[in-house]
Amino acid sequence: MSAGHRNWPEGVPRKMGGRKKTVDSVPAICLHGRETSGGRHFSVRHMLQSALVPPGQRTSSPVVRRTRRRAFESSKTSRRRDRYMRRDLATHSKALKQLFSLALATGMTTFTALAVAARPLLAQTAAGEAHFTFPNTPAAKQLQSWLAAFESGDRATIQAFVAKSMPEGTGADFVDQTIEMRDEVGGLDFQKVEESTDVRLVMIAQTRTGGERFRMTVEVDAAEPHRITAIFLQPASPPENTPPPPEMTEAETDTARKQPSFHQFSAWLAAFNSGDKSGYQQFLTNSFPTRASGLNRDMDLRERTGGFEFRKLEQGWATEVSGLVQERDSDQFARFVLKVEAAEPHHILSLSLRAIPRPAAFPIPRLTESEAIAGVKAQTEKNVAADRFAGTVLVAKNGKMLFNGAYGLADREKKIPNTLETRFRIGSMNKMFTAVAVLQLVEAGKIKLTEPLGKYITDYPNQEVATKVTIHQLLTHTGGTGDIFGPDFNKHRKELRTLNDYVALIGKRAPQFEPGSQWRYSNYGMLLLGVVIERVTGQSYYDYVQEHIYKPARMTLTGSLPEDQPVDGRSIGYMRSSAGAWVPNTDTLPYRGTSAGGGYSTAGDLLNFANALMNHKLLNAASTDLLITGKVEAGPGGKYAYGFEDHRDKDGIGWVGHGGGAPGMNGDLRIYPKSGYVVAVLANLDPPAAQRVSEFLDARLPIAK
């Protein structure tokens, strides 16, 4: 049945409003605090990873690299990749990614300065240049204070701002990262205010170095001194009347190749691709001096991508050139823009890379089933050899196993290898199990999708949330319930032992927007559904899913036992340190996983879950259809359903599922209802280790006829 013809219960909307309303449907880059973007989630790394990809277009590329993160989960590509959040990435500097990440999110560092600095408070309007006026609110005043400190470039001034206005526990390297970002990026021209309250400010701004438009969100404490609790940057959709770059003629291309800008780009690419650190350092010193401080970051990017292949020259003048490159070790494309000084020796002024969907002019041919399996084996072995993958890969069709392999180490210190029964932390993938549990209770008549949260949690602390936010909205991330990560989580991480502990900590918080008015990924909303399950069943969330999902689906190695309890075969997660080494993620983990994510499983158990679900052993056919069918526009190319992403076209071709990711963990489950394929990939490394594998297969497996 096509995605457009499903059975819906009365009163449940089929979809949200248009894209103009879904302000947060694009993955965000969390500068400070835990990312809270939606969709597929994942970490700052993931966030950055997709950061410059148009909504709905996932990118597994490390064109943006890592930045540690003390948070449990990360975020979701525009609706296509969660990992406790989502992604959308471009080329932001390490400073950009780490700038505010108190949690030292999981990051990626890109070698370019996608200008996300904020300089003069100017805005380009239709009438010309005008002074930008900030609202008179605590949130706006805090942002202005940060801008002033940032613009000063003075260490003492920035340190004073951090001490006064950032949460306790801000990383010691925050000031260095701020100064680094100040030195290497351009600025932002603010264009308009989209949302303004005392504690939240959302604005549109345009970068000076590449013209990219960003949505900047600042959140502060309600109580004085209104310390900053979160800052996010999201790619904003470009103006609809922005034309694509015109194709150059052969003569124009020849002329562009002779320009100083192209010569400098070619020289940079050769130096970067060589992987020779001393040679690259010499190039930066001679030709790109403002980038010299990014040497280690660039070399890390070189390791993660394998370098770049030049694919197309789009525009070229004496002082500026743009075009397309592709990562050598993945399918990921990026658009580069390089600017040089007009005078000899034409020093490079700036270089930005923006991850983009693969252009139609460079299609990936579909393979036969055996060719696709052989291809993923070879690609995975290559990534293992380069220390970019450790985990398990599974491909099945109509219940028949086609490939199941284990790679790398579960414990690097003890040299324990990963096996097919190794348990990996799965991040936001638990959201699928939570959604199934809710619909089981809908079938049993114990829950109604249209009822408000307060119907089931009668003592919920905030009455606006209790009376306005419905079960449907919690399942689709449209209730405005926000995230569970941030300064409070970091402070009480080990004390949060039950779902009710989270409610006690943040349950007084009001909705971030009018419930039902827009889509914004919400880990807290999914956690609340776990509390609802407990209230209506009288069981703990963990006991319910064990009895009603794991047991009937034969998921014998899946669970969420506390991190301080030994679990046979549970792997250690490894995240990249600032020095580039793999280090355990132990100190970033919560006490235990929740209904929002953080449990553990195996690729085999995920296949069993997919088979049980699609064979209606967990839900009846109508409820299964309701579960996986997209309801909310979460960016072009896909929708969010109930705890599932729906990436099928109008003919039903494509996949449904969910991913998960955070520092030291990455997972992905893709179910192809039309063709019968199931792809499950788990890794005990930073994103996009697993995602890279599933996307390789997604582009090459045969599609249903």
Does a cis peptide bond (omega within 30 degrees of 0) precede residue 225? yes
**Residue 300: per-residue pLDDT:** 82
Mean pLDDT of 530-552: 98
Confidence of residue 338 (pLDDT cuts 50, 70, 90): very high
Beta strands in 483-641 (DSSP E): 574-576, 582-584, 599-601, 632-633, 639-640
**Band (191; pLDDT cuts 50, 70, 90):** confident
Classify 216 as helix, strand or coil: strand
Mean pLDDT of the chain: 80
C-alpha span between 630 and 653 (Å, rounded): 13
- pLDDT band of residue 367 (cuts 50, 70, 90) is very high
Strand residue runs (E) in 261-374:
308-316, 320-327, 333-340, 348-356
Q: Per-residue confidence at 264, pLDDT binned at 50, 70, 90?
A: very high
Neighbours of 351 (CB within 10 A): 24
Of 693, 30, 689, 42, the residue nearest 427 (C-alpha): 42
Task: Name the residue with tokens 């729906």.
Answer: 646
Enter the DSSP assignment of 51: B
Asked whether 577 and 585 are in contact (CB, 8 A), the reply is no
Residue 240 has pLDDT above 60, yes or no: no
CB atoms inside a 10 Å sphere around CB 514: 12
Cα distance between the two ends of the chain:
14
Q: Which fold has domain 250-356?
A: Nuclear Transport Factor 2; Chain: A, (3.10.450)
Three-class SS of 5-17? CCCCCCCCCCCCC
Mean pLDDT lowest for which of 159-163, 195-199, 236-240, 487-491?
236-240
At 230, the amino acid letter reads A
| pLDDT tens digits for range 649-704 | 999 999 999 999 999 999 999 999 999 999 999 999 999 899 999 999 999 999 98
pLDDT of residue 131: 57
Is residue 258 within 8 A of residue 252, CB to CB? The reply is no
- Residues with Cβ < 8 Å from 422, sequence gap 6 or more? 392, 406, 410, 569, 570, 571, 602
Give residue-wise pLDDT tens across range 627-641. Answer: 999 999 886 668 999
Find, among 453, 398, 418, 400, the residue nearest to 673 by Cα: 398
The tokens of 379 are what?
A: 């690609």
Averaged pLDDT, 194-202: 88
| Helices 621-628 & 603-614 angle (0-180, nearest 10) | 120
Mean pLDDT of 32-57: 32
pLDDT tens profile 273-304: 999 999 999 999 999 998 887 888 888 888 88
Distance CA 500, CA 533 (A): 12
DSSP 549: I
Q: Report the pLDDT averaged over residues 301-310.
A: 90
More confident of the two residues 181 and 216: 216
Whole-angstrom distance, CA of residue 109 vs CA of residue 49: 9
How does 11-29 read in b/e, with b if 16+ C-beta sit within 10 Å? ebeeebeebeebbbbbbbb
**Domain range annotation of the chain:** 29-235, 250-356
Q: What are phi and psi of 559, to 5 degrees?
A: 180, -170
Contact 690, 432 (CB under 8 A): no
**Of the candidates 350, 210, 353, 211, which has an alpha carbon nearest to the alpha carbon of residue 290?**
350
In this predicted structure, the answer to whether residue 416 has a pLDDT above a threshold of 90 is: yes
Q: CA torsion, points 57, 389, 42, 703, in degrees to nearest 10? A: 40
Helices (H), 444-519: 463-468, 471-476, 487-492, 499-506
The pLDDT tens digits of the residues spanning 487-517 come to 788 888 889 999 999 999 999 999 988 999 9
Residue pair 412/426 in contact (Cβ under 8 Å)? The answer is: no
Task: Considering only residues 695 and 171, tell me which one the structure prediction assigns the higher pLDDT.
Answer: 695
Q: What angle do CA 571, 438, 505 make, to 5 degrees?
A: 70
Residue 187, pLDDT score: 64
The answer on pLDDT for 23 being more than 50 is no
pLDDT at 71 over 90: no
CB 92 within 8 A of CB 29: yes
Judged against a pLDDT cut of 50, whether residue 208 lies above it is answered with yes
Three-state SS letters, 396-409? EECCEEEEEEEECE
Angle between helices 430-443 and 523-537 in degrees, nearest 10: 40
Reply yes or no on whether the pLDDT at 17 is more than 70.
no
Residue 479 is given by DSSP the state S
pLDDT of 471 over the 70 cut: yes
- When mean pLDDT is compared across 9-23, 434-448, 634-648, 683-697, the lowest value belongs to 9-23
Helix (H) or strand (E) holding 370: helix 369-385
Contact criterion met (CB below 8 Å) for 292 and 281: yes
